[in-house]
Each structure stands twice: as C-alpha cells, then as structure tokens.
C-alpha cells in the first residue's frame, strides 16, 4: 500500500495542466454500452476508477482499449449481468444500470455499497427506472430490472438535498432509447452531466434543456458510435488553486474550464486569494493575509461538496472563525480528525464544521479515508512545517492523475513510498 511522504513549507511555483474529469468520464464510459458501434473518448485521465470501469465494461462483453488518454469501446455483444464484486467496489459503476436497461431491456447490477461519506442510496435512480417501465426487484445484493417496454415519462428526480448527479445520468441514458418523450424535472446541472449529454447527442440522442434542471429526451430507435473529448476536471483545478494558496505560492493553471469554477473562485477571492485570468489559464497566488470565509456546499452551480475538504485546509490557515456546512452528504467530515493531528482546531456541530483558523500546522502521519479527504491531507502536508506521511494513497489515485508528479513539478518535496 503506497504512502506519500511530504516535506512541507515549500511555496508551489510553476504551471500545471488539468486532466479530464473523472466524474464525466465514468458515466460517458457507461454510455458506450448504448451502441454496438465503436466509441472513441479522448482526454481520459489515468485513474484507477477509470481502469476499473474499463474492467466492468469488459466483464459485460465490450472490447475496451485505453492508451495514452484515448479510450476505444465497442460494445457489440453485451450481457446484462454485471460482475457482482467488481460493481460493488465502485459506487460510480451504478451508472451502467440505465444503459443496460435501455440496450437489453434487462439488467442485474450489484447494489453499490455506501462509503465513508454517507449511505449513498439509489432510490431516485430506481424511481426513474420504474417510471420508464422497469420492473425492479432486489435479491441477494443485486438490483434486477426487467423492462420489456421502455416508455417515456415525466420524472421528478429531486431528493432530500436537491438532485442526483448519477441518477440524472442513469435516467437520461435510459430515456435515449425509450419510446416517446421523457421529461426529467429537478435534473442535476453539474458540468459532468452536461458533458455526458453532449456525448449522447453526438451518438444521435435527442436531448434538450442540457445544463438546466429540466431535461427533455425524445427516444430514438438506436444510437451510433461517436468521438468525444472529456471536459476538464473542475475539482482537480480547484484543488491546485487551493494548493497554491495554502503554500503561499504562485501557480498557473492551464486547461481548466473557468466557467465551471465560479462558486469556488468567488470564495477564494473572498478569502483574499489573488487570481488573474490569462487567456484560458488562471494564475493563482496568495495575496496578503487570508480571511475566514463561511461556505455551504450545494448542488451546481453552488459550492461543490467535492471541494469542501480542500477548502477547509485553507480556512485552517485563515486567522479567525469560519463555518463550513456540508449539505450534500451526511458524513463528509472524515478529514477533520486527521487535520487535527496536524494542529488544526476544528469542531463539528451537526452538518457544520467550525474552523478556528490561524494556528500553525505541523507535519505528522495521517490516514486518508476518501478521495477528497486524502487531497485535503496532502494540501495540509504541503502547508505544514516538517514531514507528513499520508497513508492509503490508493484513495487519491482513484481521482487525481499523477498528483505527486504534478506537485513535484511545482517544487513540492513529495515522494511516493511503497509500504508493503
């Protein structure tokens, strides 16, 4: 099991290029199941979650090749039963359900486990599939769907905290091959859902309202192969912007879609971080003193929950009290106890973390628990005096392409050690 050894206190300087978005490429990979023709997807990040999804597609019978960021999938003949163990291990794999039901009119996929950030139910996914005519049963850990006929319907996908990203992906994909028109109300508007919709349209799907909370999908007989370049990862871009700020550095971020980052850039600005657009790139540097800022995570275009842990590190360095409220997941504060090991003073009050910022951080061994919490621990290690060892780095490799190499190129003293 790998760990990252970080010697903190070095201001990051230089340029970084943002990779394709994990949360766009996973549903796009699932969408390739909707046609028997070859699909080509570019700017695919080299992530363990992507490799895993490739294994899942192959286990369903698809031909999958991934080389130098280019993915080719031909799902000519596929089966509707996903490999229980493979699917159970990665929550994002639930988005093969919609395509399998649409293509084969039946599917059996294992119920995705919960994870450290919350229970992760799929009731909204199943509500949508049922509204399209799917007959759903759950037995021995499998969700089984039979849908001899898929009929377009009006579906309200709003849940207790707003919409569902992968739920919207699943129902949108299933509706592309249903008979008639489907209207999804309270659809997720995340850029990754927009990217998936654009890929489906390139495959011949008829979708309107892309990027809005109301999606209208007119079913077609079949979809054809398509080529697509994945949208840049806004969460990776936000993570590097915060890395520049917490290390008092100066980093030029290339290849991000700045229009996908408005809520994050606004909060960084309020906190006193200096940012300058240079064409499509963004120069981020620490201005004067940081200011404490309150943040609440919300569905897009609100402040993304996937940046909450990283932003908390910045607030731990801003003298004063800031309140960070997590509205999307019920247990996304796993990073708080580990940040305390580095000297941060953070108290959890229900859905809010109260950060008493400005205390000096000092390095220590810490344990990663989920993807974004791990990123937060790396940022804290970069800012802390002394050495920090972040264990269980496989969490990080799920969603950040070559993060230690990219940070080393910015001057960070960080190396990967293999702890057998």
Q: Going edge to edge, which strands form the sheet with 206-208? A: 154-156, 181-185, 214-218, 206-208
Q: What does the alpha-carbon distance between residue 245 and residue 383 come to, in Å, rounded to a whole number?
A: 9
- CA 400 vs CA 186, 194, 269, 379, 417: distances in Å: 30, 21, 24, 13, 17
- CB-based burial label for 165 (10 Å; 0-12, 13-18, 19+): buried
Q: What is the 3-state secondary structure (H, E, C) of 269-296?
A: HHCCEEEEEECCEEEEEECCCCCCCCEE
Q: What are phi and psi of 291, to 5 degrees?
A: -115, 145
Binding residue (CB under 6 A) for ligand EPZ from 10, 12, 26, 143: 26
Least Å distance, CB 271 to ligand EPZ, is 22
Query: Toward ligand EPZ, which CB reaches closer, 159 or 343?
Result: 159
- Residue 319: how many other CB atoms lie within 10 Å: 12
Q: What does the alpha-carbon distance between residue 391 and residue 369 come to, in Å, rounded to a whole number?
A: 9
Least Å distance, CB 415 to ligand EPZ, is 24
Binding residue (CB under 6 A) for ligand EPZ from 260, 372, 395, 406: 372
Positions annotated as catalytic residues are 115
Handedness of CA 279, 285, 291, 295 (dihedral sign): positive
3-class SS at 116? Answer: coil
Q: How many residues bind ligand EPZ (CB under 6 A)?
A: 26
If binding is defined by CB under 6 A, does position 142 make contact with ligand EPZ?
no
Comparing CA positions, the residue from 169, 108, 161 lying closest to residue 134 is 108
3-class SS at 383? Answer: helix
Binding residue (CB under 6 A) for ligand EPZ from 165, 178, 203, 368: 165
Q: What does the alpha-carbon distance between residue 69 and residue 89 come to, in Å, rounded to a whole number?
A: 23
Stretch that binds ligand EPZ, among 21-29, 60-68, 239-247, 266-274 (CB under 6 A): 21-29
If binding is defined by CB under 6 A, does position 170 make contact with ligand EPZ?
no
Query: Toward ligand EPZ, which CB reaches closer, 91 or 406?
Result: 91
If binding is defined by CB under 6 A, does position 158 make contact with ligand EPZ?
no
Q: What does the alpha-carbon distance between residue 177 and residue 199 come to, in Å, rounded to a whole number?
A: 15
In the shown chain, the binding pattern of residues 276 to 305 toward ligand EPZ, with x for contact by CB under 6 A and - for none, equals: -----------------------------x
Least Å distance, CB 222 to ligand EPZ, is 26
Least Å distance, CB 319 to ligand EPZ, is 29
Least Å distance, CB 289 to ligand EPZ, is 30
Q: What does the alpha-carbon distance between residue 172 and residue 176 come to, in Å, rounded to a whole number?
A: 6
Query: Toward ligand EPZ, which CB reaches closer, 123 or 222?
Result: 123
- Cα-to-chain-centroid distance, residue 122: 17
If binding is defined by CB under 6 A, does position 306 make contact with ligand EPZ?
yes
Q: 196 and 169 in contact (C-beta within 8 Å)?
A: yes
Binding residue (CB under 6 A) for ligand EPZ from 45, 98, 134, 167: 167
Comparing CA positions, the residue from 267, 268, 243 lying closest to residue 379 is 243
Least Å distance, CB 375 to ligand EPZ, is 9
Binding residue (CB under 6 A) for ligand EPZ from 36, 158, 159, 343: 159
Which positions from 90 through 129 interact with ligand EPZ, judged by CB under 6 A? Answer: 91-92, 118, 120-125
Stretch that binds ligand EPZ, among 165-173, 211-219, 264-272, 309-317 (CB under 6 A): 165-173
If binding is defined by CB under 6 A, does position 399 make contact with ligand EPZ?
yes
Query: Toward ligand EPZ, which CB reaches closer, 90 or 384?
Result: 90
Stretch that binds ligand EPZ, among 1-9, 20-28, 38-46, 276-284 (CB under 6 A): 20-28
3-class SS at 32? Answer: helix
In the shown chain, the binding pattern of residues 257 to 276 toward ligand EPZ, with x for contact by CB under 6 A and - for none, equals: --------------------
Binding residue (CB under 6 A) for ligand EPZ from 10, 11, 19, 23: 23
Q: What does the alpha-carbon distance between residue 187 and residue 389 come to, in Å, rounded to a whole number?
A: 41
Residue ranges binding ligand EPZ (CB under 6 A): 22-23, 26, 91-92, 118, 120-125, 159-161, 164-167, 305-306, 328-329, 371-372, 399
């Amino acid at each position: 099991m790998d760990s990252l050894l970080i010697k903190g206190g070095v201001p990051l300087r230089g340029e970084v290029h943002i990779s394709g978005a994990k949360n766009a490429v996973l549903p796009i990979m699932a969408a390739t199941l909707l046609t028997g023709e070859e699909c080509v997807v570019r700017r695919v990040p080299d992530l363990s979650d992507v490799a895993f999804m490739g294994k899942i597609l192959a286990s369903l019978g698809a031909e999958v090749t991934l080389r130098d960021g280019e993915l080719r999938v031909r799902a000519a003949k596929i089966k509707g039963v996903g490999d229980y163990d493979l699917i159970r291990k990665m929550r994002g794999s639930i988005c093969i359900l919609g395509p399998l039901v649409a293509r084969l009119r039946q599917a059996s996929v294992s119920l995705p486990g919960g994870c450290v950030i919350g229970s992760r139910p799929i009731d909204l996914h199943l509500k949508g599939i049922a509204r399209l005519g799917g007959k759903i049963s759950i037995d021995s850990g499998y969700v089984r769907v039979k849908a001899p006929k898929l009929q377009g319907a009006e579906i309200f996908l709003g849940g207790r905290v707003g919409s569902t990203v992968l739920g919207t992906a699943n129902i949108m994909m299933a509706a592309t091959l249903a008979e008639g028109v489907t209207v999804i109300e309270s659809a997720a508007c995340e850029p990754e859902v927009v990217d998936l919709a654009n890929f489906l349209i390139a495959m011949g799907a008829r979708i309107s309202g892309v990027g809005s909370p109301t999606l209208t999908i007119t079913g077609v007989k079949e979809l054809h192969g398509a080529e697509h370049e994945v949208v840049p990862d806004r969460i990776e871009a936000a993570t590097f912007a915060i890395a520049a700020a917490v290390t008092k550095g100066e980093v030029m971020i290339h290849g991000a879609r700045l229009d996908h980052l408005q809520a994050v850039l606004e909060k960084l600005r309020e906190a006193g971080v200096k940012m300058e657009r240079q064409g499509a790139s963004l120069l981020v540097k620490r201005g004067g003193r940081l200011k404490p800022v309150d943040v609440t995570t919300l569905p897009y275009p609100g402040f993304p929950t996937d940046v909450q842990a990283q932003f908390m590190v910045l607030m731990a360095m801003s003298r004063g009290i800031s309140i960070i409220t997590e509205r999307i997941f019920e247990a996304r504060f796993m990073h708080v106890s580990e940040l305390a090991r580095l000297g941060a003073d953070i108290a959890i009050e229900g859905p809010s973390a109260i950060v008493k910022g400005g205390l000096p951080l000092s390095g220590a061994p810490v344990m990663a628990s989920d993807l974004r919490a791990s990123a937060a621990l790396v940022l804290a290690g970069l800012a802390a005096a002394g050495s920090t060892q972040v264990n269980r780095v496989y969490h990080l490799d799920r969603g950040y392409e070559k993060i230690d190499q990219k940070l080393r190129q910015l001057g960070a003293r960080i190396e990967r050690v293999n702890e057998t």
